[in-house]
Chain A
Amino acid sequence: MKKALKIAIILGVLLPAIASAQTLLETYKSEKVELVPDPTFGQQVDWDTVFESFNDTLYGRWRGNDKSLTVLPDGSVVVSHTYRDFYTRFDANGRFVEEFGVKRPDGGHYRSLRHVQGVLKNNVLFSGLDNMGNMLCFDIRGNLIKTLHMDYMARQIIALPNDKLALVGWVLWSDRVREFVAIIDYETNEEKIIWDHFDPRRFSAGTHRFNYMYNFKNGGSISFTTMPFTKALGMSQPPQIASVGNKLVITIPSTGEIRKYDLDGNFVSSQKISWSKGYISAEEQREIQEKAIARYHAMSNPVFASFASEEENIAARDYFISEMEKDLQRIKDPIPMPYFANLIKDSDNNLLFFEFPKEEGANAFNVWIYKNGGEFVARSSFTTEGYKLEIKPSKMVFHNGYLYALVTKENARGIPLRLVRFKLEPQG
């Protein structure tokens, strides 16, 4: 009798998870997935007040959409804001709870908080690195638990199931750029670099096509790249990482390599994406370059740099236009693109590799599962009505079979930003 009861309890716990896993994968197999907003989530939230920071600007330009979300194991949500001193917390029903800061040991609060990157041990939130390499680890009330320190810059940080962290970082050497993936021990702060890649560190203005820089007479400069994936330094797109079960997966967008490691960083196996690489055609390059030139032509009174004179700002604009036009004439060959744009993990441990769409809203993703060493099993796309989707890991997080997203509502009055919980339904 006891045995039967035990089996019943285990099945009761496992079955919903198994059913949910089948459901998500089966949903993807329908090729088109409709994201249906859950009307019970986020009811009676005064979005104009809660997301008032959507209007934030920095140096005269709008930065209010630089937000990300983190879903906690209990289904509550924390939204991070760039250059703000607080996070916004919602409960598991999407109701606004509070704005909270992180308390300093000396009694004050940390300023300009970095975005929350994830959750360790079920209730320890960890932030991105500040400029001195410090990571804050704190609880949901903003009580600081500990600070970890890294000696480099980090792009992506994730929690691993063994309570360690994995991160994608970079560091400049005197003549090289090193990009790497490391595993960090939360308890000891010890790190282990498990993958790295070097590129030469050389840049001279005017020598790298589509990379532009203007130096002001009294110091300071402005720079930009018009063409995607032609960055003068480092990898055209850095690695993206995810944990799947008891494996850490490192994906290299430029080579299409999917490398699997155990949670201690020991290499297990590697495979390569089988679909062919895309290219930015010469025609598309011309379109991109012409748009950039038009943007600069439209600046009748450019103020790139407030520390430089009006004449210098105009000189910078004219220099850029002249250089961009030269490069426009040189466009001839297609530019190879990475194999995928983004990687998002769903709540059933499937990895969604998003392709580069040819049209706005025409997203498509390939579903990878860790079976037989890893294989792609479906291709699908998301669609929704009434909301504008940004398909980025910072804006979309899966939890318990739902997709939580920061999206803008179409035709909204006031601030359009919403936190929405979507149900995934097969279409057609």
Chain B
Amino acid sequence: MSCINEEQLQHYLDNEYDKEEKEAIGQHIATCPSCKGALEEQRRRILDVKQSLDLLVTEQPVIPEFRPPVKTYRQRKIIAKYMLPMAIAASLLLIVFLRPFFESDIPPVNGQSTQFMMSVELDANKPVTEYPLNITIVAPDGSISQTTIN
């Protein structure tokens, strides 16, 4: 089987192939580093969008109940143990993930694309000249929120 293109990849991720096609593509991906890389890249994009939207709900009107941490000593020990490898891994991931954006004019998934996909339900009792102005705010951490100016 030849390498899969982006459309096939997306269909594969969206679970749109029948069992046989899915198996054939899965086998190819398992043996082809290039396609495997492309698959991971697309998965990451999807995750990026979700993470970006996940942060929409960081501001809660109701303050959550405070639960004191347990086993703090053990947690600290674990954090210290894994801190350095995690930092290195995170840096490497950042370099790998950001590289394509410097090489193309395609904007990053977070924020710049997602914000323009947000849609607002229209009120069919108002003329277009009376629609409120919706503003999308993307925070430095990638979280998105919307606000309205009437």
Contact = CB atoms under 8 A, between A and B. Distances in A.
Contact of B113 (A83, A201, A222, A341): A201
A152 B111 CA distance: 16
A155 B119 contact: yes
Given A284-B128, A295-B149, A354-B124, A202 B107 contact: yes
B106 A175 contact: yes
Given A218-B140, A220-B137, A172 B117 contact: yes
A171 interface: yes
Contact of B50 (A59, A131, A304): A131
A360 B130 contact: yes
B134 interface: yes
A223 B46 contact: no
B113 A223 contact: no
A172 B114 contact: yes
Given A83-B60, A172-B49, A203 B116 contact: yes
Given A59-B147, A360-B127, A224 B46 contact: no
Interface string A294-326: 010000000011010000000000000000000
A223 B135 contact: yes
A222 B135 contact: yes
B67 to A, nearest CB: 11
A223 B124 contact: no
Chain A, interface size category, equals: 35 or more
A392 B119 CA distance: 14
B134 to A, nearest CB: 6
Contacts of A280: 128
Interface in B21-64: 41-42, 45-46, 49-51, 53-57, 59-62, 64
B144 to A, nearest CB: 10
Contacts of B97: none
A307 B46 contact: no
Contacts, number: 193
Of listed A174, A211, A222, A304, residue having the most chain B CB within 10 A: A174
A188 B76 CA distance: 42
B119 A238 contact: yes
A361 B64 CA distance: 41
B136 interface: yes
A4 B8 CA distance: 61
Q: Provide the main secondary structure of the chain B interface.
A: mixed
Contacts of A233: 113, 116-117
A89 B139 CA distance: 35
Contact of A191 (B15, B55, B60, B134): B15
B117 A342 contact: no
Interface residues of B, number: 59
A337 interface: yes
A98 to B, nearest CB: 17
A295 B132 CA distance: 11
A117 interface: no
Nearest to B65: A108
A220 B50 contact: no
A391 B116 contact: no
B65 to A, nearest CB: 9
A221 B110 CA distance: 11
Contacts of A362: 125, 127
B10 A173 contact: yes
A223 B136 contact: yes
Interface of B: 6, 10, 13-16, 41-42, 45-46, 49-51, 53-57, 59-62, 64, 105-107, 109, 111-117, 119, 121-131, 133-141, 145, 147-149
7 contacts: A172-B113, A177-B117, A191-B16, A193-B14, A223-B116, A223-B138, A304-B135
Closest 6 CB pairs of A and B: A219-B140, A354-B124, A131-B54, A391-B124, A233-B116, A341-B124
Interface of A: 53, 56, 58-59, 61, 83-85, 111-112, 131-133, 151-153, 155, 170-175, 177-178, 190-193, 201-204, 211, 213, 216, 218-226, 228, 231-234, 237-238, 280, 284, 287-288, 291-292, 295, 304-305, 307, 337, 341-342, 354-363, 365, 389-394
Given A172-B113, A203-B116, A237-B122, 5 more contacts: A151-B46, A222-B137, A304-B135, A359-B127, A391-B123
